[in-house]
Structure 1
Amino acid sequence: MRYLSRFDDGEVVRWAFRGMLIGAIGVLALDLRDLSRENGWWAPEAVLPAAPSDPILPPVVQTNAPIPPDDPRRFVTAGEDILARPLTFTLGSGGVLSAEGSIDPGSASRFAAEIEARGEYVKTVSLNSPGGALDDAMAMAKLVRDKGIATEIADGAICASSCPLLFAGGLTRTAGYKAAVGVHQFYAASQTPTAPAQAMSDAQATTARISRHLIEMGVDPSLWLHALDTPPQALYYFSPDELAKYKLVTTPVATAQKAGTKPG
């Protein structure tokens, strides 16, 4: 106690938080090592090709377990076959560009070409994606922000894994009450086993990049603590209040809920 009394309370809290974060990353590194050995919870064809050490946020994992009544997945309307396809883009009325499917490596290049071809017609990107390649998601987010484009997640759509990092790029961001928005841990797609020390180093560097990205986009980086707490084979889904709390949306989604009712 006499030793701790030498530091002010703020410094003690900061070091405690740092210790907690490093501990979480350490556990994540061990998970990454186990996943590289086992690889038993996803089908091999679901892992998209990537260069060694590319961080991947695996797409949503579906199980046969009953969906809880408060789980937003119950609203998702697209079938797994559609969401499993590489990300595709369709321009609709009102300048809304629909982006649907998994974020595969190369999505960012296709997206940039689409934006270049459409010029100023694209006003909003509407997302329906189970996630995937991390770097592509963040690259698309930066292009969306540079172009001043809005993002949305419509009722019945899902935006999970790396998709929220793309969603964060919107100059304005809206999500329907019946939208499913979730995060979880990433893993490193590598063709060779990674030493635990290197896995930990890579995990820390990637977590730092994600945190900086969220800060640059005006989103509270504390949001990503939920991803660190959630293993890759699961998902943490945000409530409407949490989406507003972490500033992932710029327009509150729970207007009817605040009035004491819920949309039907």
Structure 2
Amino acid sequence: MTSALRLLLLAVFCFHVLTGTRPASAATITRGGDAVMGCRFSISGQIEEGDADALRALLDQIGFTADYSPVGRRICLDSPGGGLREALAMADLIGERAYGTAVPAGAACESGCAVIFLAGRYRHPEAGGAHSNDRLLHPRGRLGFHAPSLLLGDRAYTRDEVDTAYAIALDSMAGVLRHRADMGTAIPDSLFLALLGTPPFEMTYVETVGQAAQWEIAVAPVAFPAGNAQQALSNLCWHVDSGLIDYTLRPPMQLLDFTFEEIDDRSLYALSNRTFRYEGSARCELRVYGDNGPVQMMGAATYTGGATDQTVRGWAFPYMLYPSETLISDLPVWIEGETAHLDAFFRAVQDPGSAGGGAGGFNNCRLASTSARVINVNEFVNLRAAPGLRAPIVGQVRLAERVQVPDTGRLVPLRDSQRGQTCLSICSAFAAEPQAQDLRRDAEGCIAENMLWYQVVAPDGNTGFVSRHFLAE
């Protein structure tokens, strides 16, 4: 038999069609599971014929439930795989009932089990039938894919047997594609090609942050990083985008400059410069919350603007804050109740030097001159009809151009913001004690957050509001 023919006969998942045998063991399906990962059921062991019926019976006992959180509605997986047809039937059930999937610490989900894992999803009771991915890999778990295999003896095969094996090979891959189409399961083309391109005697494991992000696989629980916040937020923008469009990131990724409209000790709303898509004309908007817990999404990245003016959104997880090449096994595990990593991350974000640059020539919240130049932008700053980065745009002023500030004493706080009013008080205190380093840091933070605005007159005579962050003497 030729080597090509032998490879063809290996190209199906472990169906026992030609041997006519069936192992005595099957998967163990039980209630309960890893509490850290939020599991309600567990599936472990080899997947064999009848396991889908056993899973259906267990799900029927509970019935359809309307849970307002995916935590507690997941199925923990620890299996080397097995029959693909059975695995696909189980994946269909999980998709229909909208259960999440998880690979806990110390567990391995491989081959057909990985197909079951990809079916994990969450459907909010008020989402009108829409669902989102809910499939979690613990940093100390393993998730592996490979092309199908067939257990055959070492003998010669008839033409009919070869034709049968070839038909099964085609049907096995078609089954994965049918599941993706019928159930709406997110199996990116790049992941399908990686699966198909890995020989059955090898395994492609999800090993890096970049792989997990591109294939929309959440890695959790992962602690927030400390240190360079600009780098971390840039990583987040790129990773969510790579999953939405299915492309491989090539480190090092471009650093982005951010401005902040909202920021406190546990949340932020940040806007990047325009770098994404459509010849770099779209921008990344981040909402990050530190109090959602270790095994839920922490927020979202939204991409707006561009030539087609599209708006798309993807969920964000803490592991996406790390560099793309970081090994998943090296990520720090977030332990429930620990807050030191959150404190360090949000402190770094509020430091202007680590989150997109300083305020530029800052020595007082208020300008001393009625003439100011535009700073901290790539090309231009927008004039706004009112204080706030979401206020209507009424004009633009290019980088380094000068504007007139009719009333330098009138700093306007961000509209409808208690934080803005607090920042006015901080600036007044800093003006009275200019040597107080803690007040200086607080005042710089207010300016970096775009909490304080000036009404200015542009060179073309247009009047509007500009954040103090973009103005210098």
With over 3 angstroms needed to count, the CA separation of the structure-2 counterparts of 1:33 and 1:48, relative to structure 1, is closer
Partner amino acid, structure 2, of 1:138: L
Q: TM-score, normalised by structure 1?
A: 0.62
In the TM superposition, what are the counterparts of 1:201-212 in structure 2 within 5 Å? 201-212=167-178
**Aligned residue for 1:263?**
332
Structure 1: runs of 5 or more not aligned: 1-26, 37-46, 57-83
Matched, 1:131 2:75: no
With over 3 angstroms needed to count, the CA separation of the structure-2 counterparts of 1:35 and 1:223, relative to structure 1, is closer
| Counterpart pick for 1:145 among 85, 90, 95 | 95
Cα offsets for 1:135-155 (capped at 9, x unmatched): 111111111111111111112
Give distance in 2, aligned partners of 1:262 and 1:243: 13
With over 3 angstroms needed to count, the CA separation of the structure-2 counterparts of 1:29 and 1:132, relative to structure 1, is farther
Matched, 1:176 2:138: yes
Check conservation: 2:39, 2:102, Cα contact below 8 A. no
What secondary structure does 1:211 align onto?
helix
Matched, 1:113 2:57: yes
Check conservation: 1:99, 1:127, Cα contact below 8 A. yes
Matched, 1:246 2:252: no
Partner amino acid, structure 1, of 2:185: M
* Aligned residues: CA RMSD: 3.8
Choose 194-203 or 164-173, whichever is displaced more: 194-203
Give distance in 2, aligned partners of 1:133 and 1:248: 23
**Aligned residue for 1:226?**
194
When you count strand as a share of all residues, which structure comes out higher? 2
Cα offsets for 1:23-81 (capped at 9, x unmatched): xxxx8753144799xxxxxxxxxx98844499x9xxxxxxxxxxxxxxxxxxxxxxxxx
Give distance in 2, aligned partners of 1:238 and 1:194: 38
Choose 189-198 or 133-142, whichever is displaced more: 189-198
In the TM superposition, what are the counterparts of 1:192-207 in structure 2 within 5 Å? 193=157, 195=159, 196-207=162-173
Give distance in 2, aligned partners of 1:253 and 1:233: 34
When you count helix as a share of all residues, which structure comes out higher? 1
Q: Percent identity, aligned pairs only?
A: 25
Check conservation: 1:214, 1:221, Cα contact below 8 A. no
Check conservation: 2:31, 2:42, Cα contact below 8 A. yes
What secondary structure does 1:233 align onto?
coil
Q: TM-score, normalised by structure 2?
A: 0.37
With over 3 angstroms needed to count, the CA separation of the structure-2 counterparts of 1:219 and 1:134, relative to structure 1, is same
Structure 2: runs of 5 or more not aligned: 66-71, 122-133, 219-314, 334-473
CA-CA distance at 1:248 after TM superposition? 4.2
**Aligned residue for 1:166?**
116
Larger radius of gyration: 2
Give distance in 1, aligned partners of 2:148 and 2:43: 22
Give distance in 1, aligned partners of 2:19 and 2:174: 16
Give distance in 1, aligned partners of 2:196 and 2:137: 23
What secondary structure does 2:75 align onto?
strand
Aligned residues: 201
CA-CA distance at 1:208 after TM superposition? 2.2
Task: Select the structure with the greater relative contact order (CA < 8 A; seq sep ≥ 6).
Answer: 1
